[in-house]
Structure 1
Amino acid sequence: MSALATVPSRDDPLFQEVFRPVTKIYRTQTYAAIDPARPELSNRGKTAVVAGAGTGIGAACALSLAKSGVAAVALLARTEAALNQTKSAVEALGLGTRVFVYAVDIGNVGALNQALADFAAKNGSDGKKGKVDILVASAGIMPDIVSIEDADADAWWKGFEVNVRGRFNLLRAFAPVAGEGGVVVHISTAALHMAYLPGFSSYRASNSAAAKMFEYFGNEHPGLRVVQVHPGLIRTPLSYSFAPSAESAEGLPWDDVELSGDFVNWATSSEAAFLKDRFVHVNWDVEELMQRKEDVEKDPFLFTVSLKGWA
């Protein structure tokens, strides 16, 4: 099976069905309305934890949060060298954000709990020790793209071990240190509501389960705001699972990773408060989204992973 054939182009009817315009403008790069330097999007004095912060989308989120003024950010991932690169990039902004690196696997419950407890104790929001304002859950994997029958069983279930159990561990580690009014942003994927794509069963099934898990967490913690985000199609290490070469990547509808980071920061702002418990795409224009605030508030199923209506 060709890896290139597994992801549709922007002109493909499948792509247009899943990514059909919710807003008239379809964004692929960052723009002024989600500029983290906007005073309305400020996170000054707040603290944030970013899981999966070593590369790609997680690293972009950490940078955008720093640009919005977070006082301190905890960077979590398995590889310390990659985390240190993100740390250097944040510090190079010169905005005074305190950066803490925790080389932990989200599958390691003890290390994960200790990392979040340590960060909260040292850097509580506005000087209040023990609480964290923002969690960005970006850590995840894409298992091999093969059929269920051809898959190595352990490799297939690894998708659930990381994308479901690992994020389960992360939510449980965050809950005791979450500040009132805190925001959880789950980096999910539009793949979970796409039509059949050959070979993606572990990735899409595990992310579907994770989406429902975060939905439950949001309902179990009404004082928190949970927002689930499709981050766009970003050329990250994860994408090499389906487009391993320059040839296979050519022509795919890639988005700019800065769009992902800046949209996630916007999602933590008061402007996005109406998106509590919703699933949104970074490609949707936020000014148009805000014009639909009343529609969202009236319809509990709008922008959710659910079945609405029967044929």
Structure 2
Amino acid sequence: MTGVAEISSSGPRPLPGTGRTAVVTGASSGIGAATAARLAAEGFDVVVGARRLDRLTALAERIGARALPLDLTDPASVEAFAAALDRVDVLVNNAGGAFDAAPVAEADLDSWARTYEVNVLGTVRLTKALLPKLVASGAGDLLFMGSTAGLVSYEGGASYTAAKHAVHTLAETLRLELYDQPVRVVEIAPGMVKTEEFTLNRVGDRERAESVYRGVRRPLVAEDVADCVAWALTRPHHVNVDLLVVRPRAQAAQHKVHRESD
């Protein structure tokens, strides 16, 4: 039939994620919240985890997900979170953050420790706890939210770039270690993404945070990254997207950003 969409006699096709349980960490805001919403729209049974349970619960009610408290820096919290899940097909390791912009000569080691604990050790902690369930699913997906900071270093970013380089290496290592298991390992590495909290948490001042994006016509937003996550997770399961780097068109590289004059 030319020009007419063919409709199956069995009815509309199910959404790509139907019947699959997806866990999204750091889902109380930003990329995590956008990813949870997108995966719910794709038909996944979404479980969201974060420390701020009030925001998490509001999101879960809005998108039809299940909210569970999760503090990746607390082994007992991770253990309780994992025990509450009967099935896990997808783990989106999104929780993380940057907490300073100081040069190495002025490094605050407490900030370094916090950055590493959240981005790296917490990610390893939850991955280790849920990996048996991902393998048992028979078609698991283990996705890491990396960053171009995990591929390229820059001044004033050492605590964060060091942590995200570790996340990048973690994804690469698991890709090798799980090559004979029914689990895909995917890394999404965004460049400049404008969200409500990331840069503000890093610099501690709203004016400084806004200046990062000033003149950039269209930085990425959380939904752009969520779109990449959904695309990678809904490919046929023999297709493994090892690494997907995504930047706004205005950002050709870490230090090369087109800014329009006011």
Match of 1:181 among 136, 139, 147: 139
Deviations 1:71-119, CA, capped at 9 Å, x for gaps: x21111111112123213313xxxxxxx221122111122212212212
Relative distance call for 1:217 and 1:248 in structure 2 (3 A) is closer
Residue 105 of structure 2 aligns to a residue whose secondary structure is coil
Q: CA deviation at 1:189?
A: 0.2
Q: CA deviation at 1:39?
A: 5.6
In the alignment, residue 93 of structure 2 is paired with which amino acid?
A: A
Number of the residue aligned with 2:7: none
Match of 2:226 among 248, 261, 264: 261
Deviations 1:39-84, CA, capped at 9 Å, x for gaps: 69711111110011110101111111111111x2111111111212
Number of the residue aligned with 1:107: 73
Unmatched 5+ stretches in structure 2: 1-11, 249-262
Contact kept in structure 1, 2:47 and 2:67, CA below 8 Å: yes
Relative distance call for 1:40 and 1:148 in structure 2 (3 A) is farther
| Correspondences of 1:90-239 after superposition (within 5 Å) | 90-91=63-64, 99-120=65-86, 131-178=87-134, 179-194=137-152, 196-222=153-179, 223-236=182-195, 237-239=197-199
Relative distance call for 1:283 and 1:145 in structure 2 (3 A) is closer
Contact kept in structure 2, 1:232 and 1:260, CA below 8 Å: no
Runs of 4+ in 1 over 4 A off after TM superposition: 38-41
Unmatched 5+ stretches in structure 1: 1-37, 92-98, 121-130, 285-311
Q: CA deviation at 1:219?
A: 2.3
Match of 1:281 among 218, 224, 245: 245
Q: Normalising by structure 1, what TM-score?
A: 0.67
In the alignment, residue 156 of structure 1 is paired with which amino acid?
A: W
Q: CA deviation at 1:283?
A: 5.0
Residue 81 of structure 1 aligns to a residue whose secondary structure is helix
Give the Cα–Cα distance (whole angstroms) in 2 for the partners of residues 39 and 267 of structure 1: 19
Match of 1:85 among 58, 63, 66: 58
Contact kept in structure 2, 1:57 and 1:260, CA below 8 Å: yes
The structure whose residues are more often helix, as a share, is 1
Give the Cα–Cα distance (whole angstroms) in 2 for the partners of residues 173 and 214 of structure 1: 16
Give the Cα–Cα distance (whole angstroms) in 2 for the partners of residues 134 and 52 of structure 1: 15
Match of 2:214 among 235, 250, 255: 250
Alignment RMSD: 2.4
Q: Normalising by structure 2, what TM-score?
A: 0.79
Relative distance call for 1:100 and 1:41 in structure 2 (3 A) is closer
Give the Cα–Cα distance (whole angstroms) in 2 for the partners of residues 40 and 273 of structure 1: 20
Give the Cα–Cα distance (whole angstroms) in 1 for the partners of residues 206 and 240 of structure 2: 35
Give the Cα–Cα distance (whole angstroms) in 1 for the partners of residues 98 and 13 of structure 2: 37
What is the aligned length? 228
What percent identity do the matched residue pairs reach? 28
Contact kept in structure 1, 2:150 and 2:166, CA below 8 Å: no
Number of the residue aligned with 2:49: 76
Q: CA deviation at 1:154?
A: 1.4
Deviations 1:241-292, CA, capped at 9 Å, x for gaps: 258323443224511321111210111123474334x1112459xxxxxxxx
Number of the residue aligned with 1:31: none
Give the Cα–Cα distance (whole angstroms) in 1 for the partners of residues 29 and 188 of structure 2: 18
Contact kept in structure 2, 1:40 and 1:269, CA below 8 Å: no
Give the Cα–Cα distance (whole angstroms) in 2 for the partners of residues 73 and 267 of structure 1: 16
Give the Cα–Cα distance (whole angstroms) in 1 for the partners of residues 121 and 13 of structure 2: 37
Residue 24 of structure 2 aligns to a residue whose secondary structure is strand
Contact kept in structure 2, 1:50 and 1:137, CA below 8 Å: yes
Match of 2:29 among 26, 43, 55: 55
